[in-house]
Chain A
Amino acid sequence: MEPWEEEEGPEVVKRFMYVNRRAPYGTIYALECLEVVLIAAAFDQDVSVVFVDDGIYQLKKDQDTTAIGMKNFSKTYRALDDYDVEKIYVEKESLEKRGLTADDLIIPVEVVAADNLRDIMAQQDVVISS
């Protein structure tokens, strides 16, 4: 066995949750987190992505950034499915406060109440928030 080869062992899969709390263009957090999620998804871990607070604005349909000269990265969320990231949660309370519904979002999501999201969050091994 060569030194760079890893010893075969039982595969450890950890539960990673990425919590998005920021609107898409006012700061760089949203784009950076999306890139981290796509990279992390390549490592065959159990990945969940959560959108709460202003993070839900990242998923708003019909974004057109032509006039502000920034990259429209909203369509990249559709790639999450291709990376087998299928656990995508949106907090119900955050949607309601902003007057939005799941129909306003660019991808299908699971809308969960804070009570349920709390339990899902508590089951994670690693939680990364931005």
Chain B
Amino acid sequence: MSKMLHLINKSPFDRNALDSCLRLAQAGGSILFIEDGVYAAMSRAASAEDVSKRMQDLNFYVLGPDVSARGLDDTPLIDGIDVVDYGGFVDLVVEHDVAQSWL
């Protein structure tokens, strides 16, 4: 079974990409929030509960430059989400067998 990296680049309030990804992602895989997807990493957002439910069986990451761009550096993240930079993004792609973009 391949280890998959899921890329979410849409706001959870604008599209249902996050919902579908959380529903269909196989345990052991990872989700990386980029671009407008970073709003889903914020603990005070209404979508946080759905993300937290899969914190045990998936790894969660958020792209730091996209967090800073949106003014969210001081906004608390959901516990357990790691911040990565562009280098970390590349590492994640290399560490996983498949990368899937939930466009």
Whether both chains belong to one complex is answered with yes
Most buried by B among A23, A24, A97, A104: A23
Contact B46 A68 (CB under 8 A): no
Residues of A within 8 A of B55 (CB): none
Q: How many residues on B have C-beta within 8 angstroms of the other chain's C-beta atoms?
A: 26
CA distance A92 to B13 in the complex (A): 15
CA distance A61 to B9 in the complex (A): 21
CB distance from B50 to the nearest CB of A (A): 13
Within 8 A of B (CB), among A36-81: 53-54, 57, 60-68, 70, 72, 74
| Partner of B69 from A61, A67, A98 at Cβ < 8 Å | A67
Contact A57 B69 (CB under 8 A): no
Residues of A within 8 A of B71 (CB): 60-64, 74
Q: Confirm or deny: A26 has a beta carbon within 8 angstroms of a beta carbon on chain B.
A: yes
Given A25-B36, A54-B14, A100-B70 contact (CB < 8 Å): no
Given A23-B39, A57-B39, A97-B46 contact (CB < 8 Å): yes
CB distance from A24 to the nearest CB of B (A): 7
| Partner of B70 from A22, A24, A53, A99 at Cβ < 8 Å | A24
CA distance A63 to B67 in the complex (A): 9
Contact B70 A23 (CB under 8 A): yes
Given A98-B44, A99-B46, A23-B69 contact (CB < 8 Å): no
Query: Can you offer 29 A-B residue contacts whose CB atoms are under 8 A?
Result: A23-B11, A25-B35, A25-B66, A26-B36, A53-B14, A54-B13, A57-B11, A60-B70, A60-B71, A60-B72, A61-B71, A62-B72, A63-B71, A64-B71, A64-B73, A65-B69, A66-B68, A67-B64, A67-B65, A67-B68, A68-B68, A98-B13, A98-B39, A98-B45, A98-B46, A99-B42, A99-B45, A99-B48, A99-B75
* A interface residues, Cβ below 8 angstroms from B: 22-26, 53-54, 57, 60-68, 70, 72, 74, 97-100, 104
